A and B are shown apart, each in its own frame.
Chain A
Amino acid sequence: MNLATLFGTLQTKFGKQVESMHAEHGDEAYIFLGDPNIRPITEYLRGELQARLVSVFAEDRRSREGVFFNYYVFEQRGDTQFLIVRAPVPAADPRFPSLSAELPAVNWQEREIQDWFGLTAVGHPNPRRVALHDNWPDVHPLRKDFPIDTVLPPFEGERHIYRPALGEGVLQVPVGPVHAGTIEPGHFSFAVAGEPILYLQLRMFYTHKGTEKLFEKLPIHKAVFLAESISGDSSFSHGTAFCQAIERAAEIEVPSDALIMRTVLLELERLCNHVADIGAIATDVGFVVANAHASRLKEMLLAANEQLAGNRLLRGMVCIGGVRRAWGAWQVELLRVAIDAFTREFRDLVALINSSESTRDRLEHTGILKPEIARDLGIVGVGGRASGIDLDVRRDHPYAAYRHLSFKVPVYQVGDVWHRMQVRIDEVQESISMIREAASRNLSGQFRVPVPPIPPNRCALSAVEGWRGEIIHWIRTGSDNRLERCKIKDPSLNNWPALVEAVQGNIIADFPVINKSFNLSYSGTDR
């Protein structure tokens, strides 16, 4: 359905509720509602148009427009448009209807709005706090009248009440927030009966560090570095998503060579993380030799990263208007050599893993996430594609140079650890061929354009397929080279509940490998 038809249909169906509609930046269609009642239009978009609800977030516009706004971002299969429905939430009666009961995917997102903006999700099946821990005073940090440097009373410990799991022989096993390995903090409460896990409860947001609020304080060019620190292993993806958002808002045209370089670096980031995860999955079932090779392979790529970007994690390379440095011919040659060496070694690594019957035995049928559950929970990225969710921003909403590259999106239906690893293996092959194709171009052209003053009060949405999955940044620019609002959605936020489903019935000893097969970001979730 083209946009004019869609707008026409929405006008006919929802009449007065739709105040206005307009398109921006080519593929963002904004639909402004006159009241908070999002239900009818959501039912229509999800039902008749089979649209997927990508993200839900809020904005405090009381000082300018007297209301809060909730935004609901939808996408339709086969259409590059994002449909962004905006519903006002009155400041005097800050309540909005919850969609979580029918749509578990928005459970945490609606509760974030409750915690951060003080709006009530009416009818939410579990309206407890999620982003602010239970001992936090009654504050709503993303409200404009909450200063970022507010000093709160010291943390006195969580008084979070976990759901009890009762029954003969049922035990609760608390784990975290400080975990046994060198990983990020979070609390897992397992209910087990003997070996099998009955139920897992998650407590996240230990690393909440005020990131979205901080985006409103930093000058825009400095905020690029904050974007790189949203989730350390996705520095380049988040950095690119942020720069793209600004570029869309300010209508900056990025030179084509810079788009190719970004694509190469995005794929290098994917390779680094996928090969590390493949090794880590092998480690978690005791196949340590495979991990030794995998981490050696990752080091090969990190060395290339450093040659290309000056930093092993690709930090300080992406910038608004392009990339910060040109590549000499020798750097492109070095990349080609590194990718050739990596390709050979990766083939050996996969053969090594495939030759180990015991590894396969531990990974198959372990941690199954069923496709129908994945769909209800709105699972994205690697975890989704292993469970039949055929989504990939690179194909569905092409950015950087992806529209010029050919690649396949691997999708499996089984949803076990083995297939989450298989998705990674397949994607590594695709990334290799994409990098080869991109690096074969002549990259001696312009790599960056000057950035004009960023105009105020422009909104833009940017999507990037990070190695984990769909990354969404939505911004509203402000005056004085600052942002009014920056919404960050890391794919991890959607995907944590998948872990809860995937571990059920598995033994606790398999939890690490199931967790690793999703490898979600705590910092990206907690922000």
Chain B
Amino acid sequence: MFKILQKTIRTGIVTTTYPSKPARISDHFRGRPSFDFEKWQDARPAADECPTGAISWRDTDDSRKVTVDYGLCVFCGLCAEASPDQAVKITKEFELATADRGSLILTAEYTLNADGTHRKLSAVSHGRVNADSDVQSVGAKARETIQKLLGRSLSIREVDAGSCNGCELEIVALNNPIYDIERFGIHFVASPRHADMLLVTGPVTRNMELALLKTYRAMPEPKLVVAVGACGISGGIFGENYASLGGVDKVLPVDVYIPGCPPRPQALLQGILLAVGRLREKRYDEHPSR
């Protein structure tokens, strides 16, 4: 017993100061790829390399529509390597959680040169997944009410709806002394009956759909759903196939999306705190939410 205490005292406090202070992250960490759309001369090499199709393009006559979806991104960095014009850069930014799936999607429109490279940028816009603004504002109000009810203390039920277990490793890390999610009054609980939030990793497999639905239905109202990781948001590299339904929002209404493959613990923390209104969405240059 004495030895245990001695070791504990010698170790001291190891808990991170995030989010009250910015996270200390290695310079080599691959976070959000940032796109200088003005400078980008050709989106095709990056799109060819992208393993999940997070970068895609479509040409009509002499114009091109390029779509970048951070909800599909696995942060591999191949797009930056494939774009020699330095228009795509890998940043250390990881706080990408958002309530609006559409804000993760960027669209750039170009006019084209004869060889298929970009001549001129004509427009950059955000995707709109939920185009109906009335539905959105009702959703926002409902969320506010829920946040008031849940804000100070939160019980989370985690469901792996088909993930590779990568996201689970980082979710489990939230309970370690470094990230220590309990300091926010947030607990992981065993039963959905005790839970306020469903934290779901995906892709949702055909074999897990029913279990996921039953878990959701077993939760008392009000309840929040957070989709974790590229697969949870969009199906990621697995996408949709005979055995995979794709992202969590194919099955459940999702309140917050946390990009990453997997999202690092601080990113999870940001997303969870965002869902209960204790943090705001982070805005980046080409990622201005709503």
| Residues on A facing B (Cβ under 8 Å) | 133, 139, 141, 146, 148-152, 154-157, 177-178, 180-185, 205-211, 213-214, 218, 221-222, 224-226, 229-233, 235, 289, 292-293, 295-296, 298-299, 303, 306-313, 315-316, 324, 348, 351-352, 355, 521-523
**Which are the 5 A-B pairs with shortest beta-carbon distances?**
A232-B166, A295-B176, A180-B190, A232-B165, A210-B243
Nearest A residue to B78 by beta-carbon distance?
A316
User: With a CB–CB cut-off of 8 A, which chain A residues contact B75?
Assistant: 311, 316
**B242 and A152 contact, CB distance less than 8 A:** yes
Contact B159 A178, beta carbon cutoff 8 Å: yes
Contacting pair B190 A181 (CB below 8 A): yes
Instruction: Verify A209–B215 contact, CB threshold 8 A.
Output: no
Q: Does B28 contact A (CB under 8 A)?
A: yes
Report chain A residues within 8 Å CB of B4.
Answer: 289, 352, 355
Are B158 and A210 in contact, CB atoms less than 8 angstroms apart? no
Q: How far is the CA of A23 from the CA of B213 in the complex (A)?
A: 51
When the two chains form their complex, are residues A231 and B165 in contact, meaning their CB atoms are under 8 A apart?
yes
Contact status A232-B169, CB under 8 Å: yes
Interface residue range, chain B: 35 or more
For A139, list chain B residues within 8 Å (CB): 242
A184 touches B163 (CB 8 A): yes
A-B contact count (CB 8 A): 189
- Complex CA distance for A210 and B4, rounded to whole angstroms: 47
Tell me whether A352 and B206 are in contact (CB under 8 A): no
Partner of B176, one of A296, A521, A523: A296
Q: What would 27 A/B residue contacts be, using CB atoms closer than 8 Å?
A: A149-B240, A178-B192, A182-B168, A184-B163, A184-B168, A207-B162, A207-B205, A209-B162, A210-B238, A221-B49, A222-B50, A225-B76, A226-B51, A226-B238, A229-B166, A289-B4, A292-B177, A299-B173, A303-B26, A306-B28, A310-B30, A311-B30, A316-B75, A355-B4, A523-B162, A523-B163, A523-B164
One of B30, B171, B192, B212 near A316 (C-beta < 8 A): B30
Question: A310 to B92, alpha carbons, bound, how many Å?
Answer: 10
B255 sits at the interface (CB 8 A): no
Residue contact B238 to A211, C-beta cutoff 8 Å: yes
Known: A185-B161, A210-B238, A313-B169. 6 other contacts (CB 8 A): A207-B208, A224-B51, A226-B237, A226-B238, A308-B28, A523-B162
Q: How many angstroms between the C-alpha atoms of A205 and B208 in the bound complex?
A: 10
Report B237-272 residues with CB < 8 Å from chain A CB.
Answer: 237-238, 240-244, 261-262, 264
Partner of A233, one of B52, B169, B191: B169
Residue in A152, A206, A324 whose beta carbon sits within 8 Å of that of B162 in the complex: A206
**A296: chain B residues within 8 A (beta carbon):** 11, 14, 176-178
Interface check B18, CB cutoff 8 A? no
Partner of A156, one of B7, B165, B210: B210
Q: How far is the CB of A288 from chain B (nearest CB, A)?
A: 10
B160 interface contact, C-beta 8 A = yes
B interface majority secondary structure: loop
| A229 near B238: Cβ-Cβ < 8 Å | yes
Q: Are B177 and A295 in contact (CB under 8 A)?
A: yes
Question: Is residue B281 within 8 Å, beta carbon to beta carbon, of the partner chain?
Answer: no
Q: What's the Cα separation between A323 and B52 when bound, in Å?
A: 20
Q: Which of B29, B52, B165, B203 sits near A522, CB closer than 8 Å?
A: B165
Most interface-central of B7, B164, B203 (chain A CB within 10 A): B164
Q: How far is the CA of A61 from the CA of B98 in the complex (A)?
A: 47
**Do B176 and A299 touch across chains, with their CB atoms under 8 A apart?**
yes
Interface residues of B in 61-120 (CB under 8 A from A): 74-78
Give min CB distance, A273 to chain B, whole Å.
Answer: 9
Q: Are A225 and B163 in contact (CB under 8 A)?
A: no
Which residue of B has the minimal Cβ distance to A334? B26
Given the known interface contacts A235-B166, A293-B7, A352-B3, the answer about A229 and B207 at a Cβ–Cβ threshold of 8 Å is no
B241 touches A149 (CB 8 A): yes
Nearest CB on B from A345, distance (A)? 9
Give the distance in Å from the alpha carbon of A211 to the alpha carbon of B243 in the complex.
9
> Is B211 interfacial (CB 8 A cutoff)?
yes
Residues of B contacting A310 in the complex (Cβ-Cβ under 8 angstroms): 26, 28-30, 77
> What's the minimum C-beta distance from A234 to chain B, rounded to whole angstroms?
9
Q: Is there contact, CB below 8 Å, between A209 and B11?
A: no
B74 touches A315 (CB 8 A): yes
Q: Given A182-B171, A232-B262, do A307 and B7 touch, yes or no (CB 8 Å)?
A: no
Closest chain B residue to A290 by CB distance? B4
Are A232 and B238 in contact, with the CB atoms below 8 A? no
Residue among B14, B161, B166, B188 with the highest chain A CB neighbour number at 10 A: B166
Question: Given A207-B208, A306-B28, is A150 in contact with B242 using a C-beta cutoff of 8 Å?
Answer: yes
Q: Does B236 contact A (CB under 8 A)?
A: yes
Q: Which B-chain residue is minimally distant from A187 (CB atoms)?
A: B211
Within 213-228 of B, Cβ neighbours of A (below 8 Å) are at: 215
